[in-house]
Amino acid sequence: MAILEISGGIPLKGTVTISGAKNEALKVIAFAVSLKSKITVENVPDISDIKSQLMIFEKLGGKYEFENNTLVLDSSEIGSYIVDREIGCKLRASIVYMGPLLTRFSKAEIPFPGGCVIGARPIDTHLDAFKQLGAQIEETDQYVKISLDNLTADVVNLSEQSVSATENILLFASAVDSEILINNCAIEPEIVDLIKKLNSAGAQITQVEERSFKVRGKKSLSLEKCQIISDRIEAGSYLVAFLATGGEGKILNFPHEQLGSFLDVLKSAGASFVVENSSLTVGQSNELKPFEISTAPYPGFPTDLQSPMSLIASLAIGRSTINELMFENRLGYIEELKKMGLSAEIVDKHKAYIDGPSKLSPTEIESLDLRSGMTIVIAALMASGTSKIMKAELIDRGYEKIVEKLSGLGARIVRHD
């Protein structure tokens, strides 16, 4: 178990650079299974989820080199269609190997995936999508076995706007010699950029409606080099960290065009920041006003930035409302923050009130999952005194060099393993 020891009460100041998007890089690694030659991927974040996805890639028979955020993937010797259970069951993104393995072997065995415990995230949408194309599926206690020899349909209607299911079926459709229409897709920025990469590799994907894509696949996909976009969730988290600690500074590689709904809420609450090309400058904010957010699929308010907003609410004068409409177990962190002095009421599994201003006090506290873990880190930075955050390894899943980055902004933070 990793522990972060933080001496808070110090405003963050300086410049921080945002890393590559975790949620795109994980899918590009799986995409490499469909390629017949090496691919070089730049701006890959050095985080534990990426390392786990690479371990799966290697156990399938792939080879890779990863240094200085540049990843070289070679799938030429992949000979297995079975995703390692020990790794795969701990990592949500392991599910997206399903599409690429089906294109390569016409079959795949995937363990039921893991990830953060934030509510029910069944893989039914994935399985139903492939069933619509003619797949045969067998479920055991540990694995999903799927085979798809011949397509029996050319239209897929996703049962929900699932990010990973959209990516899974796109990865499959892009590497088969057929034309498939996919409806009710998620359209997160990471998906849109992944589509650009698939098209560069030889697929022909066109957006026929806002959430519908027509895919003309190609068996011999090839892409020599690509770059991962900036991580919008990390960017939003550092913006909250500056604001919540009363700090000021600059965030480089800030994808402001992808964070419109998030930035709009902060602006309406009175937060002070200025967007400049690919950077964002944070200033001193005066009196903050309460707000209401409701999470929704993109371009709605991102669920992964819901928990950090509770800290902005703690500084606002009045009652703020958080509606978590994507997951049913994502408000648990509020009970942890109440131990630090947050004045909040969880109405039900989807709604909470936060009354501000609340002064947070240091304590020993546990990270519940990746995103709430970062929220607790920021809370500890706000509280004057020393806090200890347990299970900090969960935060490593999505935030690159968090100790180094925060230390560079003046934070007093030490990691103990």
Mean pLDDT per 10-residue interval, the chain, length 417 residues: 96 98 98 94 98 98 98 97 94 95 97 57 88 95 93 97 97 97 98 98 97 97 98 98 98 98 98 96 94 97 97 98 92 95 97 97 93 96 97 95 98 96
Q: What is the CATH number of the domain that holds 314?
A: 3.65.10.10
Q: In this predicted structure, what is the pLDDT of residue 133? A: 98
User: 259 and 382: one domain?
Assistant: yes
Q: In this predicted structure, what is the pLDDT of residue 279? A: 98
Residues 6+ apart with CB under 8 A from 68: none
Q: Whole-angstrom distance between the N-terminal and C-terminal Cα of the chain?
A: 6
Q: In this predicted structure, what is the pLDDT of residue 329? A: 84
Q: In this predicted structure, what is the pLDDT of residue 114? A: 59
Q: What is the largest CA-CA distance in the chain?
A: 63
User: 33 and 117: one domain?
Assistant: yes
Contacts 24+ apart (CB under 8 A), 264-270: 265/291, 265/293, 265/301, 265/309, 266/239, 266/312, 269/312, 269/316
Q: Which two tokens stand for residue 82?
A: 């079975």
User: 31 and 159: one domain?
Assistant: yes
Strand partners, 109: 82, 145
Given 204, 224, 244, the domain boundary residue is 224
User: 171 and 234: one domain?
Assistant: no
Quickly tell me which residue has 């065995």 as its tokens: 109
User: 35 and 135: one domain?
Assistant: yes
Print the domain residue range for 270: 3-19+230-416
Given 224, 243, 259, the domain boundary residue is 224
Residue 185 among the catalytic residues? no
User: 162 and 250: one domain?
Assistant: no
**Distance from the Cα of residue 311 to its chain's centroid:** 20
The total domain count for the chain is: 2
Q: In this predicted structure, what is the pLDDT of residue 305? A: 98
User: 178 and 276: one domain?
Assistant: no
Select which of 89, 116, 185, 226 is catalytic: 116
Task: Report the C-alpha gap between 366 and 337 in whole angstroms.
Answer: 10
Pick from 125, 47, 124: nearest CA to 91: 47
Contact (Cβ atoms closer than 8 angstroms) between residue 87 and residue 58: no
User: 269 and 406: one domain?
Assistant: yes
Q: In this predicted structure, what is the pLDDT of residue 212? A: 98
Burial bucket for residue 23 (CB in 10 Å: 0-12, 13-18, 19+): buried
Q: Which two tokens stand for residue 339?
A: 């131990």
User: 138 and 190: one domain?
Assistant: yes
User: 401 and 289: one domain?
Assistant: yes
387 phi and psi angles, rounded to 5 deg: -115, 155
Q: In this predicted structure, what is the pLDDT of residue 327? A: 87
Given 203, 224, 245, the domain boundary residue is 224
User: 239 and 213: one domain?
Assistant: no
> Half-sphere exposure of 202 toward its Cβ, with a 13 Å CA cutoff?
15
User: 14 and 26: one domain?
Assistant: no
Q: What amino acid is encoded at 395 in this protein?
A: I
